[in-house]
A = this chain, B = another copy of it.
Amino acid sequence: MHNSALKTDLYELTMTAAYFDVDLNLPATFELFVRSLPEPRGYLVAAGLEQAIEYLEAFRFDSEQINFLRAQPVFAHVSSSFFEYLAQVRFSGDVWAIPEGVPVFPSEPLLRISAPVIEAQLVETYLLSMITFQTSIATKAARCVQSAAGRSVLEFGSRRAHGPEAGVLAARAAFVGGCAGSSNVEASRRFGIPMFGTLAHSFISAYGNEEQSFRDFTKVFPDDTVLLLDTYDTLEAVKKIIAAGLKPAGVRLDSGDLASLSKEVRRRLDQNGLRQTKIIASSDLDEHAITALLAANAPIDVFGVGTALATSKDAPALGGVYKLVEFNGEPRAKLSESEEKISYPGRKQVFRYCKEDFYTGDVIGLKSEAFPGTQPLLEPVMAEGRRVGPRPTLGDTRKRSFTELSKLPEDVRRLKNPQRYKVSISSGIERELQTVRNRTSPVRLIA
C-alpha cells in the first residue's frame, strides 16, 4: 500500500511544492462529492471508504519515489527541502465521511478532509478514483438487486473490469450494494466475500462429450454442482443430466432466449424430480434485462451479472470532484463562470429528514448548523491521521445498505424515470457563499 503515493496527478505535486516553497502549508478543508446523478439513477450508494482510510493511514513516499521526483526536470527550481519534507510526510488530518452503504445524492460530501493543505492535496486523485468507482459499482449493484426482487444477484464481471485490480474492487463494491457474492477469488480472500463459480464452455468442449464432462465435474464437486447447459444445445443438455441420473444443485443458462428456455428447463427438471435444482442465468444481464425476465415470469433463481455491473456500463464514471471549502480558517469556493461548476464554501454536514420510516429529503448545511429532527450523515472516521471508531464488517455494511435503501421512497428508487430526491442548501451556506463572493474579484457571470 505504501507505494501508492505516486498514484496521483502531477499537479498535486507541483501545487504542493509551490505551497511549500512560498510557506503556505496552512490548514485546509476539502470535500469530495459527485456533481450529478447519471441517468436513469435516482440515488447513489456510498462505497470505498474503507480503502480510502487504509490508504490515508499508510500514506508515505519511499526513497525510490523521492529520488524519481527529484530527478524530474519539472522540479528543477523546487527547493531540496521540499523533498526532505515529502520523505517524512504522513497524513495527519481529520476525516469525516458518510458511511458505506448509505444512499447519497449530488453535492453531498461523501468525505470531508481537514489537514495541512499539502497533505490534503496530495491524496486527491487516489481518493476520488477509489470512492467514486466503488460508489458507482455499489449503485449499479443495488439497482440489479432491486430488479431481482428477492432473488440472488452474483457479480461475475471480473474479466471485463478495468484491469485485474478493478475487478477485485468491483466485487467488493457489488457486495456492498447487495450482491450475494462474486466469482472473484481474490475478493473472497481479501474481503471475505462469498464466492461462486460454475464451469465454462471450454470444460465441456475439451471433453467433446457433454455427458461425460457433467459426470466427471459432479464427481469432483458433488455438493453444489452447477452445470452449464448451452455449450451445444440447452434442452439436450437437460435430457443428458436426467438420463445420467445427476442431481445438480443448479444449472446455468448463458445464451438464447432466457425467458422461454428457463421455463422449458424448469418444466423438464420438475417432471424428473429435480425440483431442488436452481436455474442460474447469465448473458449480458443488467437491471432492465432482469426486470423483463421476471415480468415474463421466467423461473430464474439466481442472476449472474457481469460486464454491466463490473464496469457500471451505462454510466462508467461519476462526476466526482474534490473541492477546497476552507483555507486557513476562511471559507473558500470555486466561483466559476458556469453555474453548474460552482462549489459551496465551508465545512458541511448532510442532515437527513425521516418520516414514518422513509427519508423525505436532505439539507446540506454547515457543520455548525442544527436541523432538529434530522440525522447527520457524516461521521468522524479519522482524527489526527488515525482511524477512529470501529471498523464495520463488510457483512454489516451490506446489511446497512439493504436497510438504508428500504427507507428511500419507492418513486426515488424507481429504476427508470425516478423522482428527484429533495436536497436543499442551507441559508448558512448561502451566506458563506456571499462572503466569498464579496471578498474576491467581482465575478462576471456569462451564459
Contacts and interface: CB of A to CB of B under 8 A. Distances in A.
A188 to B, nearest CB: 8
A217 to B, nearest CB: 5
A17 interface: yes
Interface in A318-337: 318-320, 322-324, 327, 330, 332-337
A165 B165 contact: yes
**Complex copy number for this chain:** 2
Interface stretch (A90-98, A128-136, A364-372, A380-388): A128-136
A262 interface: no
A117 interface: yes
A183 B128 CA distance: 15
B129 A203 contact: no
Contact of A165 (B117, B166, B338): B166
A159 interface: yes
Nearest to A229: B337
A197 B13 contact: yes
A22 B216 contact: yes
A160 B233 CA distance: 42
A231 B336 contact: yes
Interface stretch (A352-360, A425-433, A435-443): A435-443
B159 A129 contact: yes
Nearest to A445: B233
A197 to B, nearest CB: 3
B206 A158 contact: no
A243 interface: no
Given A316-B311, A332-B208, A7 B167 contact: yes
Interface in A5-43: 6-15, 17-19, 21-22, 24, 26, 28, 30
- Which among A15, A76, A124 has the greatest number of chain B C-beta atoms within 10 A? A15
B156 A9 contact: yes
Nearest to A228: B11
A219 B130 CA distance: 34
B324 A202 contact: yes
B220 A159 contact: no
A305 interface: no
A410 interface: no
B22 A219 contact: yes
Contact of A197 (B11, B312, B440, B443): B11
A336 B255 contact: yes
A235 to B, nearest CB: 8
A134 B440 CA distance: 44
B18 A217 contact: yes
Contacts of A170: 162
A408 B216 CA distance: 49
A67 to B, nearest CB: 10
Given A18-B221, A74-B224, A324-B206, A162 B162 contact: yes
Interface in A102-132: 117, 121, 124-126, 128-130, 132
Given A165-B166, A202-B323, 19 more contacts: A7-B168, A8-B185, A10-B185, A12-B197, A18-B216, A18-B220, A24-B207, A76-B223, A77-B221, A121-B202, A124-B159, A128-B160, A129-B163, A159-B320, A160-B318, A206-B332, A210-B441, A232-B335, A236-B444
Closest 3 A/B residue pairs (Cβ): A10-B197, A11-B197, A162-B162
